Each structure stands twice: as structure tokens, then as C-alpha cells.
Amino acid sequence: MVDLPGPHSDDDAFDIIDNALLELATRRHVWLGDELAMIGLLADLIDQAERCLTEPVTIARANGHSWTEIAKLLATSPEQARLRFDPESPITDNRWPYDTDQH
């Protein structure tokens, strides 16, 4: 198994999130000085990023990667990763990246 890093925050990630917030606020005509708007925009970005995880996790599993490898990247346990992403799990989030249905 390759030594994979877990998630971490750094200046690059901050800059990307900051740019994404600005772009999303601009598209939605929301003022970033409003703290509730900022919370909502950040929650939207988090939700979207979580939805986008399903496809690469599915592909990684199909390519033989273990739940342990995937879990390390997600900073969780293999059991939690499997519970969240295994298609056979009763709590798997099966929304596509752009579905608007809330679960």
C-alpha cells in the first residue's frame, strides 16, 4: 500500500475555498459581509464536495483500492468509509453531484 496523506488545510486549500466563495456569492448575488450568507455558501460548498466524493471512491474501489486506503484520505475509519460509500450500505448517499433532492 502506498503511504497516502490524510486531509490537511494549507494556504492553497484556503485560497481555493476563498475563490470559490467569492465566485458562488457573485453568481448568487449574495454579499459576503453577511455572516449568515457566508455560512450558507460554505455549507453549500461542503455539501457539493461531499457529493463529488462518491464517484472517485467507487472508481477507487473498482480499481482494487482498500477501504483502509480510502479511509485514510478521508480521515475516518475503514468501517465508516464503507458505511458511507459502499452501495450496499443502508446509509449510502446515492445522489449524483448535481441532484437537488435533500436526503
Helices (H), the chain: 11-28, 35-62, 67-74, 78-85
pLDDT tier, 42 (very low <50, low <70, confident <90, very high otherwise): very high
**pLDDT of 12 strictly over 50:** yes
Residue ranges per structural domain of the chain: 11-85
Q: What is the pLDDT of residues 80-95, one digit of tens each?
A: 999 999 988 888 877 7
The set of residues, in sequence order, having a beta carbon less than 8 Å from that of 75 and lying 6+ positions away, is 6, 7
7 and 74 in contact (C-beta within 8 Å)? yes
13 and 49 in contact (C-beta within 8 Å)? no
